[in-house]
Structure 1
Amino acid sequence: MPTPPVPPRVHRPTDRTRAHAEGISDWQLRHREVVRTSRDTYLLRAHAGELRGRLDAVLLGAPSSAVVSHLSAAALWGFEVPLVPDDGRVHLTVPRRGRVRSRADRVVHCSRVPTPEVRQLGGVTVTSPSRTWLDLAAVVPPPALLAVTDQMLARRFPEDEFPVVLGRAVGRRGVVTARRVLPWADPLAGSPMESVLRWLLLQAGLPRPVLQHVVRDAGGRFLGRVDLAWPEQRVAVDFDGEVHRDRRVFVDDLRRQNGLVLAGWTVLRFTSADVLGRPEAVARVTRGALVPT
């Protein structure tokens, strides 16, 4: 009868000093279910793919002044940041340069974070939503920042608070990008990639669309809701994400599209392959629908 595998002794993030104090040997730290995320930080492999697990591991050796920030703070607040792949590293902001350095498991930013810009979230010290937004403005492309801004407005972040945040941050990196993006933000955006698509069209010089426009026929019967619309030209643009691959959703999309076309609408549908791989074509096709030759 085969010998059952030895279970790991590590059950929560730890370092070598803490492990030894708990009677865990170096040999046990090399268990196949335990991963070393940096020079002296260990956690269960099953938790290595979770932000909170990686976060707890990184904070073990971080100074007490460290604040979770940037992309990690955005994730904790529940903001999706498109176009920026998650490389698994935790972002921290510390007040001054010292022995704290970026490593394989963390990105260290050096900046002062005033007390009003700090929050406690699930027992973790994290930058406030407004400070997180400003930090992101310095490290993500404009369409990604627009997506985050749309999400903040959708969660009722005060629209008039954004200019106040920018006014306090004059001269900081990212402020120019934030000022450029802010006028185009809209709480009705249906998804982060829809925000990216909207930015693409706006930057191509197309008129500002109406978001989540409801289309009705001459008798007032509901025909459908479209992501982006130019009602006067009867042009609609939809972004089809992963959910649209579901058979039921796909069938509903086709039926809705048929109804819109019969009512005189031009319906354009784009996927991430179009938005990311063929942006010029997306803009050209949409412009052609708005200004037919």
Structure 2
Amino acid sequence: MLRQRIDAVLLGAPAGSVLSHRTAAELWDLEVPLVDDDRRVHLTVPPGARVRSRADRVVHASVVPAPETRRIDGLLVTSPSRTWIDLAGAVPPAALLAVTDQLLAQGYPADQFAHVVRRYRGRRGAARARAVMGRGDRRAGSPMESVLRWAILDAGLPCPVLQHEVRDERGRFLAAVDMAWPERRALVEFDGDVHRERRVFVNDLRRQNGLVLAGWQVLRFSSADVLGRQAGILRLLTRALTGN
């Protein structure tokens, strides 16, 4: 359990220690994809503190001013802004986009990202944060959808519309799809684990038939595709969008 692991680590932590990075993200209910399943607690300690990383903790040495901290169930944690910029120096851009999307969905102000980047100019990860910050979208359906969207944008393909409502020629609602390029009548659906359930699978088939009959190109991908064959995804999507 996370709280038990945190309490054990804090017993020997120096004064001024703050829970940070992936541990802070977990406490803020932010999922960080594309990283190893590492259960160690991340702790930022004052520079010069005589404490090192070990089997149960990862130690980061940095100054964390009081305004950049919050309390969650009595635990001192880096603020959402500080957590975001910390992660920018530690995770791939696609994972940072997923965190950005989730923060926006939680109500984090979009204009604050630029302020954070300016405040931490020159810090490790600042360039990555700058590249990602303008591409966040609160409508992202899941972290893996965010990872897929980053691959699409990084390849130079047009930005999709998220949660696009598709209607038939009579204006009747057909579906709200994960990603769409309405002008090309092309869409992408990301199938997570829930889509393996029989009821969901049957509904997916019926919905897909309606979309195809309405003249839409439907591409469906899973996490295995996103993690293992992004080049194939991009080739199919390029063909759908350009005809080439």
Range class of TM-score, shorter chain: over 0.9
* Matched position secondary structure for 1:100: coil
* Matched position secondary structure for 1:184: coil
Corresponding residue of 2:112: 161
Corresponding residue of 1:290: 241
Corresponding residue of 2:8: 57
Choose which of 192, 207, 221 in structure 1 pairs with 2:172.
Answer: 221
Does structure 1 residue 198 correspond to structure 2 residue 149?
A: yes
Counterparts in 2 of 1:25-44, with a 5 A limit?
none
Number of aligned positions between the proteins: 244
Does structure 1 residue 265 correspond to structure 2 residue 216?
A: yes
Partner AA of 1:135 in structure 2: D
Counterparts in 2 of 1:171-250, with a 5 A limit?
171-250=122-201
> Identity of counterpart residues, as a percentage?
66
**Cα deviation code 1:189-245 (max 9, x no counterpart):** 010000000001111111010000000001111111110000011000011111111
Counterparts in 2 of 1:79-228, with a 5 A limit?
79-228=30-179
Distance 2:61 2:198 in 1: 49
Instruction: Output the TM-score relative to the length of structure 2.
Output: 0.98
* Matched position secondary structure for 2:123: coil
Q: Residue 97 of structure 1: CA displacement?
A: 3.0
Distance 1:82 1:140 in 2: 9
Determine which structure has greater relative contact order: mean sequence separation of CA pairs < 8 Å that are 6+ residues apart, divided by chain length. 2
Q: Is the 8 A contact 2:14 2:49 kept in 1?
A: no
RMSD of aligned C-alpha atoms? Answer: 0.8
* Matched position secondary structure for 1:185: coil
Partner AA of 2:20 in structure 1: S
Distance 1:278 1:92 in 2: 35
Consecutive aligned runs of 4 or more in structure 1 exceeding 4 Å deviation: none
Partner AA of 2:174 in structure 1: L
**Cα deviation code 1:169-204 (max 9, x no counterpart):** 111111000000111111110100000000011111
**Cα deviation code 1:54-90 (max 9, x no counterpart):** 1111111111211000000000000010111221100
Distance 2:152 2:121 in 1: 29
The answer for unaligned runs of 5 or more in structure 1 is: 1-49
**Cα deviation code 1:223-273 (max 9, x no counterpart):** 111100000110000111111111111111111000000000000000111
**Cα deviation code 1:10-37 (max 9, x no counterpart):** xxxxxxxxxxxxxxxxxxxxxxxxxxxx
Distance 2:114 2:134 in 1: 11
* Matched position secondary structure for 2:134: helix
Instruction: Output the TM-score relative to the length of structure 1.
Output: 0.82
Greater Cα radius of gyration, structure 1 or 2: 1
